[in-house]
Structure 1
């Protein structure tokens, strides 16, 4: 145990010695003092007040390294710059506010990402309802916003490009033939993300990820134990169930057409959420490519979701959609309906109940 700790300290000392080698430097500035509020948000996506608040929030979760001269503030700034623009790490290190080696930038990104995705911060910032009271409140707000009674949020998946992993490369290749993580997002009416699951490789279908999701199990349990209508809205790629409704495939009346139109309008919220997330944090765009192995890519995606929610909570507007973003691939891959309805009696009963629930909503609200 002692030898392991000694080896770890030795490795840390070596890293810090490298980090503190004198470098040809130039005068740097403090963005908090020099940049306007607008310019600061353009570079770092947060306003100055939120930045300082976040700096205080993550401080207990960043391990201080001996003899490291970099301020935590600088580490957070360079990490936010990377998330926002996805630039090469050596370029980031030569930014206008810091003079850092590529290795220092890399360690900073890792430290800040680990802090943002710590259990305490992640569960505080990305939060699915945790009891029936919260679930009922969530249903009331979303149903009022979308006019689909019983709905609590909307779900979809988006792909984030990564470099070919060291292991099982083919599993990460999606239908568009690039390596990615397929990220399940569930959001509220204001695009606040209440669940993010970036743990599945690009070849995984959306309905498969949903079937393995904790949220699927939670809503199914709520349905079986408490009754009542609490469901998400998803597109036709998902299997219809009492806890996840999908639109009608072939509407045959004006009422059903109106329901589908309202449903699709509500579903557009998740498309807007994905668009906002990737516009704010362009390291997630396909052509930027996260140059990390899956484990670190997953952490960066979650960190960006945490920061996205901070922006939503504080009404921080997204940057303008420039030509680069307008022409970007946003990672939405539609695979058709791959879900198979199980033939066991419970699954058949659930499907029948979901169809009845959907028809009841149409008859009571879309006459």
Structure 2
């Protein structure tokens, strides 16, 4: 009886080992099939579907591998994780791209997107930088001056709304003037549409001027002013006029210097609108029609991940042309014009007047 039991146990162990080997082979074959699938996709189709070409994709994977904790597993390579996330960013749907082609379940897809998004946020300190040195600021000023003949500009600023599902907590903070829930994302870009600053902490109910007044960037611009630098951002009438933040002159007399200033201001500030258009066209998960079904904090991380990719593509391809972005109709609520009085406004208007008289 004992011998029979021992023989039975040996057979059970051998069967378990055989099953383990078969599972390992199946996993290995699945990984190999995914790699072959990647190689078979034509370049044009790859770029259309994932927004990056294959060279840019491999460069991204290398950087994530070197500089973040993102790793592959036995069942899902790092490359597949990145492709799955890129498909989501580009299309805004779990049912698109390689995740569907290799029959990955939704839970695995969601995990891949989360891991890659976290990793791209780690890279944001490198890829999304407001100019910190005089040399960096001079380069950006030269860009705005050469293109628009507007001196002293180190960025165009505005906010854009990214739709999210109704949050469980603090719901009124996210309900915007257009009647949907969103994040109101403040961004700054240079004349090449490179995004240099992102503030994704506020809900859609927050006014642009409130986000600005609460941002670290405002403190930084004030410190530059105190140090004697004549630099400024360009904002629309939803922002307060400050000595470091130039806004348009409403109802300026036609043909006057103020009118000329405002026309040039609008052209130069349009860089941020174009940047929003390119960003949302390339990464359609940010479009209002797509709605991010996540907690606001995670939705903000997805926005930042897309901004990192946007800047990477600028480094790879140069300034986007009109062909790089479809026309995106704005769904951003119209922000009321800021009406202010006080010493800050008086000082800001005085600086603006001097700028107009000397340059326009």
Q: Which runs of 5 or more structure 2 residues have no equivalent in the other structure?
A: 1-23
Q: What is the 5 A alignment of 1:188-227?
A: 188-224=190-226, 226-227=227-228
Q: Secondary structure of the residue that 1:201 maps to in structure 2?
A: coil
Counterpart position of 1:282: 284
1:124 paired residue among 107, 116, 126: 126
Superposed CA offset, 1:161-194 (max 9, x none): 0001111111100001100000001001011100
**Aligned counterparts of 1:318 and 1:269: Cα–Cα separation in 2:** 12
Residues 319 and 364 of structure 1: CA distance in aligned 2, closer, same or farther (over 3 Å) = closer
Matched, 1:104 2:119: no
Counterpart position of 2:346: 352
TM-score computed with the length of structure 2 as normaliser: 0.85
The CA deviation at 1:196 is: 1.0
Matched, 1:44 2:45: no
Q: Which runs of 5 or more structure 1 residues have no equivalent in the other structure?
A: 1-19
Counterpart position of 1:174: 176
Structure ID, larger Rg: 2
Superposed CA offset, 1:69-127 (max 9, x none): 1001000001000000001x25556533x331101000000000000001xx1111001
Matched, 1:62 2:66: no
Q: Is the 8 A contact 1:28 1:99 kept in 2?
A: no
Counterpart position of 1:336: 336
Counterpart position of 1:234: 235
Q: Is the 8 A contact 1:238 1:339 kept in 2?
A: no
Query: Aligned pairs, how many?
Result: 330
Q: Secondary structure of the residue that 1:256 maps to in structure 2?
A: helix
Superposed CA offset, 1:29-83 (max 9, x none): 6454223322211011112111111101111423547x64100100000100000
The CA deviation at 1:352 is: 2.6
TM-score computed with the length of structure 1 as normaliser: 0.83
**Aligned counterparts of 2:37 and 2:350: Cα–Cα separation in 1:** 58
Counterpart position of 2:247: 246
Q: Is the 8 A contact 1:159 1:183 kept in 2?
A: yes
RMSD: 2.5
The CA deviation at 1:152 is: 1.1
